[in-house]
């Protein structure tokens, strides 16, 4: 009965527009030429365009990854201070897709130092003015590994009397290895780059909590190599940045994914689990979805097409065939680490329903001996939408409790 209802519903929506056009002609509201023009437009938009989408992998990738959308314009990603991220190192990592890949793909990375380290070494970093301004604005950071910093500061100062381009990498990696720290690897969504406004807000929030923050642009984004992205490719990029962190420090790492980045995060963790590699201590999923098929059907851009009988045939199924899946509903059942999901009820890009559905799937599909799964909803009246959960006053406390609960736990 349910399938019959869906079938009838699809037929109704598929014939509604042409039927209305035909009825208008029969009743004399429009002329024959207008009828022909309207039917041709319908055919082009609702039949030809979906068919082109079905057979064009380039178009599928373009619509999914949206690498052509770039903002803010004129942003120089080699200068993180241009978006208010002082004491941030910009560098590049080369990703080899296979053993015979000689050139590899270069991806741009930011390493944002935690507030307590920046305050301790503000003179060496030459950011006294910026730090003092933050203190004047009552942006005092949370407690962190202050004792370790205090004990090791004299030795580090003698080794690095000033941070200059020639020793910048050594200095940042020295602080990254310092005991007691926490690292967050941030995986952004589609469009723009690691320097877009709402992402910078997240870095500043995590910096204030005294976490090292790593953010990078997948292939095809920002100043990374202009290689057409694929799911396997951007997960590979994330894997290489994670390996760089893991090879540099033994401090715990938390993976944070936003929007499309949640699909990257769960796929990354599942792959690390299958390889039995060192894994993050926890995973934070901001505005996640279950899989691309569900997300496409509920996305605002699909509103005109989702009821067409051939929607799955021309849009959903081809993306799965071309391995553009981002199946978080599968991957959350393949790794053991604890998960925290945060989602706004007024999110129109990734509907709240998908984040909650992923939470229920994780609850039901994961072993009880694995890390817990928690879900935090933010009411529609707060108007955080898809991008601005970082502005929720209760979020820092939620992050701290999650990180402190599991930073030393192994599942």
DSSP 156-181: HHHH-SS--TTTHHHHHHHHHHSTT-
Model confidence at 386, in pLDDT bands (50, 70, 90)?
very high
In the structure, what pLDDT confidence band is assigned to residue 2 with cuts at 50, 70 and 90?
Answer: very low
Query: Burial level of 323, CB count in 10 A (0-12/13-18/19+)?
Result: exposed
Quick: pLDDT tens for 111-138: 999 999 999 999 999 999 999 888 756 5
Instruction: Please indicate whether residue 328 is annotated as part of the active site.
Output: no
In sequence order, what E strands does 275-353 have?
282-286, 339-344
φ and ψ of 272, to 5 deg:
-60, -40
Q: Name the least confident of 24-28, 234-238, 395-399.
A: 24-28
Active-site residue, from 259, 287, 316, 328 = 259
Beta-bridge partners for 286: 258, 342
- 409: helix, strand or coil: coil
Output the average pLDDT for the chain: 92
3-state helix, strand, coil split of the chain in percent (to 5) is: 50, 10, 35
- So what's the pLDDT on residue 16? 67
pLDDT beyond 90 at 102:
no
**Spatial distance between the Cα atoms of 336 and 280, rounded to a whole number of angstroms:** 10
Q: What is the pLDDT of residue 27?
A: 79
Residue 72, preceding peptide bond in cis (omega within 30° of 0) = yes
What percentage of the chain has pLDDT greater than the value 70?
92
pTM of the model: 0.93
Q: How confident is the model at residue 10 (pLDDT cuts 50, 70, 90)?
A: low
Distance in angstroms (rounded) separating the CA atoms of residues 225 and 260: 19
Which has the closest alpha carbon to 334: 368, 365, 294? 365
DSSP 168-225: HHHHHHHHHHSTT--EEEEE--SSS-TTSHHHHHHHHHHHHTT-EEEEEPPTTSTTS-
The position carrying tokens 């503000």 is 122
Q: What is the DSSP letter of 282?
A: E
CB 257 within 8 A of CB 286: yes
Task: Render 365-404 in DSSP notation, one character per residue.
Answer: HS-TTS--EEEEEE-GGG--TTT-GGG-TTHHHHHHHHHH
Give the CA radius of gyration of the chain. 24
Q: What average pLDDT score do residues 199-211 get?
A: 97
Residue 21 contacts residue 39 (beta carbons within 8 Å): yes
Would you state the structure tokens that stand for residue 251, as one six-digit string?
């401090």
Which of the four pLDDT bands, split at 50, 70 and 90, describes residue 39? confident
pLDDT digits (tens, 9 = 90+) for 306-320: 888 899 999 999 999
DSSP for 308-325, written as a single string: STTHIIIIIHHHHHTT--
What's residue 8's pLDDT? 52
Note the pLDDT of residue 5.
52
* pLDDT for 395: 98
Phi-psi region of 48 (alpha: psi -120 to 50; beta: other; left: phi over 0): alpha
N- to C-terminal Cα separation, the chain = 44
| Cα–Cα distance for residue pair 75/73, rounded to 1 Å | 6
Q: Is the pLDDT of residue 345 over 60?
A: yes
Give me the catalytic one of 134, 217, 294, 347: 347
Mean pLDDT lowest among 83-87, 134-138, 177-181: 134-138
Better-predicted residue by pLDDT, 30 or 55: 55
**Model pLDDT for residues 230-256, shown as the tens digit of each residue:** 999 999 999 999 999 999 999 999 999
Q: Write down the pLDDT at residue 138.
A: 52
* Cα–Cα dist 289/300, whole Å: 14
According to DSSP, the β-strands at 339-344 and 183-187 are unpaired
Q: Which of 111, 188, 267, 386 is catalytic?
A: 386
Q: What whole-number distance in Å separates Cα of residue 335 and Cα of residue 299?
A: 28
User: How far apart (Å, rounded) are the C-alpha atoms in residues 295 and 92?
Assistant: 32
* Per-residue pLDDT reduced to its tens digit, 278-294: 999 999 999 999 999 99
Q: Is the dihedral of CA 388, 394, 399, 400 positive or negative?
A: positive
Burial 249-286 (b: 16+ CB within 10 A, else e): bebbbbbbbbbbbbbbbbbbbbbbeeeeeebbbbbbbb
Q: Is 347 a catalytic residue?
A: yes
The residue-averaged pLDDT of 47-66 equals 95
State yes or no: is 386 an active-site residue.
Answer: yes
190 is written with which tokens? 């589609």
């Amino acid at each position: 009965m349910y399938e019959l209802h869906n079938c009838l519903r699809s037929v109704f929506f598929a014939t509604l527009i042409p039927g209305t056009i035909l009825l208008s002609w029969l009743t004399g509201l429009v002329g024959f030429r207008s009828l022909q023009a309207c039917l041709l437009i319908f055919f082009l938009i609702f039949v030809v365009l979906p068919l082109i989408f079905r057979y064009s992998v380039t178009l599928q990738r373009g619509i999914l990854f949206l690498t052509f959308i770039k903002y803010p314009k004129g942003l120089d990603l080699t200068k993180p201070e241009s978006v208010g991220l002082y004491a941030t190192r910009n560098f590049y990592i080369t990703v080899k897709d296979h053993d015979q890949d000689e050139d590899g793909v270069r991806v741009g990375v930011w390493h944002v130092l935690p507030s307590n380290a920046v305050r301790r070494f503000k003179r060496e970093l030459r950011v006294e003015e910026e730090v003092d301004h933050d203190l004047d604005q009552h942006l005092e950071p949370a407690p962190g590994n202050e004792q370790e910093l205090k004990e090791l500061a004299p030795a580090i100062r003698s080794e690095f009397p000033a941070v200059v381009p020639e020793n910048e990498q050594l200095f940042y990696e020295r602080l990254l290895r310092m005991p007691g720290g926490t690292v967050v690897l941030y995986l952004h969504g589609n469009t723009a780059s690691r320097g877009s406004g709402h992402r910078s807000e997240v870095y500043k929030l995590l910096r204030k909590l005294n976490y090292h923050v790593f953010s990078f642009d997948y292939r095809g984004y920002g100043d990374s190599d202009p290689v057409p992205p694929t799911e396997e490719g951007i997960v590979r990029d994330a894997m290489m940045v994670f390996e760089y962190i893991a090879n540099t420090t033994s401090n715990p790492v938390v993976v944070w994914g936003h929007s499309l980045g949640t699909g990257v995060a769960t796929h990354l963790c599942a792959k690390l689990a299958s390889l039995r590699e060192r894994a993050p201590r926890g995973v934070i999923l901001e505005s996640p979805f279950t899989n691309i098929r569900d997300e496409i059907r509920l996305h605002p851009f699909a509103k005109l097409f989702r009821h067409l009988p051939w929607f799955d045939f021309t849009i959903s199924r081809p993306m799965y065939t071309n391995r553009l899946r981002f199946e978080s509903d599968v991957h959350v059942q393949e790794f053991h680490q604890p998960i925290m999901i945060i989602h706004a009820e007024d999110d129109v890009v990734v509907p709240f329903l998908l984040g909650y559905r992923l939470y229920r799937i994780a609850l039901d599909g994961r072993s009880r001996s694995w890390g817990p799964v928690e879900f935090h909803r933010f009411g529609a009246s707060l108007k955080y939408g898809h991008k601005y959960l970082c502005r929720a006053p209760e979020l820092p406390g939620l992050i701290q409790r999650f990180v402190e609960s599991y930073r030393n736990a192994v599942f």
